Structure 1
Amino acid sequence: MLDHQGPSLLEPARAFDRLRERAWSLPEVSKNRPVHVSMKTHRDVGRLRRRDAYQAVRGAVATCLGRRDFRIVHVSIQANHIHALAEAHDKYALANGMRAFMISATRRLNALRGRKGQVFIQRYHAVQIGSPLQARNALAYVLNNWRRHREDLDGRAQRRANVDPYSTGILFDGWKVDGRPYTFGIPPGYEPMLVHAPRSWLLTVGWRDRGLIDVRETPGPIAGPARRMATCSPRP
């Protein structure tokens, strides 16, 4: 695991230079190997599984749509942390893309909560995915993470839901229900996350060799060897 001090937004030019310098020491990233990223928030940011916080994170995800070398393809918002699956052309694209997302999310969530300072606790953690099994497990872990935290039992609306409304699960085309492939429709009034479609072989074709994901599957830790890296979140 590699730890790096994140750049300050008060010094954008020097911060960018430092970001690139530190990226040299990060493990290499390949556009063919997606990355599972997790980010934890400070306690005083409050619960993220609320409609207003969802819209704030949704807006931050949308700011990354114009990037050609970095794609967020799935997102899951939990009470105090966020999971994402991303594809990046190299380690610089990953560092810059995550920096852009976290800066935008920090500004939006701070404005929402009427607070200042850091939103994310120091680091984001990134795990590169290198096999169909890891890809399948990562998809299940991210999209069904709410079941791992028993959020599917919290509130009447969520108990009626088969897919996490605070994730991109409704856009996923690899679900199964009662052993059969199933695709969810988008209900009226619901605004899904604005994400890219995956392009890597692992997230489009490879993972399917390991079986579709049951909508009620409760995921465990991601299986298989993984290479982990960490960088600090940028300060507002």
Structure 2
Amino acid sequence: MASRTPHAKRVAVDDNGLSLTTVKIRAGLPNLRRRKSHLTIEECFRKARSRFGCRLVGFSIMSNHLHLLVHAPDAAALSRWMMGINIRVAKALNKIWGRKGKVFLDRFHSTFAKHWSNVRRLVNYALNNARKHGLAIPKGEVDKFSSAAWYPHWTEGPQPKRPARECPVVSRVGVTLPRLPIDWRPGRPYGCS
């Protein structure tokens, strides 16, 4: 049986309102890190990036889960936004995969930023998650299956080349986003530049 995220009471969202939310797909479904799936998910993000008072700030698409950086006014708004985005993405993926049925597991997991250092850690974790999983990304480049190319605050080297397609995330948010090293790896210090 697939692992499930345990049901836990959602913590209150503070003034910052930034969360790193992870949602997993069911076992046996195609890899999300394929071009057609990736572009389909991005299109869903473009359509839903600012709804229910929530704003999608960043994302990372992994083979069987999504990491979403969401700025939400409260836990109820985040839950509504997550329900909506899960339905939108599931319908779109089922269409391209030629199937019907559930795509996502029942629950999602959220970690809320309580301090500036938490914001930095969550953004870094989401945008550099492919490196954490050991996926090969050339030095000085960013994961093409994430919103990292649109992130404006990289501290090292030239800014990544942005794709010609429209940015799938909200670029201006109510939380100041931190500066990050472009090829951060686990164990590397986070120091601000």
TM-score band by shorter chain is 0.7 to 0.9
Return the offset for 1:171.
Answer: 0.8
Return the offset for 1:68.
Answer: 5.6
Given candidates 170, 184, 187, the residue that maps to 1:217 is 184
Q: Does structure 2 conserve the Cα–Cα contact (< 8 Å) formed by 1:145 and 1:219?
A: no
**Map 1:71-150 → 2, pairs under 5 A:** 71-150=55-134
More helix by share: 1
Distance (whole Å) between structure 2 residues aligned to residue 166 and residue 36 of structure 1: 17
Q: Which residue of 1 aligns with 2:161?
A: 185
Q: Which runs of 5+ in 2 are unaligned?
A: none
Moved more, 38-47 or 164-173: 38-47
CA-based RMSD of the aligned residues comes to 2.4
Q: Does structure 2 conserve the Cα–Cα contact (< 8 Å) formed by 1:168 and 1:192?
A: no
Return the offset for 1:35.
Answer: 0.7
Distance (whole Å) between structure 1 residues aligned to residue 73 and residue 30 of structure 2: 34
Q: Does structure 2 conserve the Cα–Cα contact (< 8 Å) formed by 1:33 and 1:129?
A: yes
Given candidates 24, 36, 41, the residue that maps to 1:52 is 36
Residue identity matched to 1:50:
R
Residue 82 of structure 1 aligns to a residue in which SS? strand
Aligned residues: 184
Return the offset for 1:177.
Answer: 2.1
- Provide TM-score, normalisation by structure 1: 0.70
Residue identity matched to 2:160:
F
Residue identity matched to 2:96:
L
- Residue 164 (structure 1) aligned with residue 146 (structure 2): no
Higher relative contact order, chain-length normalized (CA < 8 Å, sep 6+):
1
Distance (whole Å) between structure 1 residues aligned to residue 68 and residue 126 of structure 2: 7
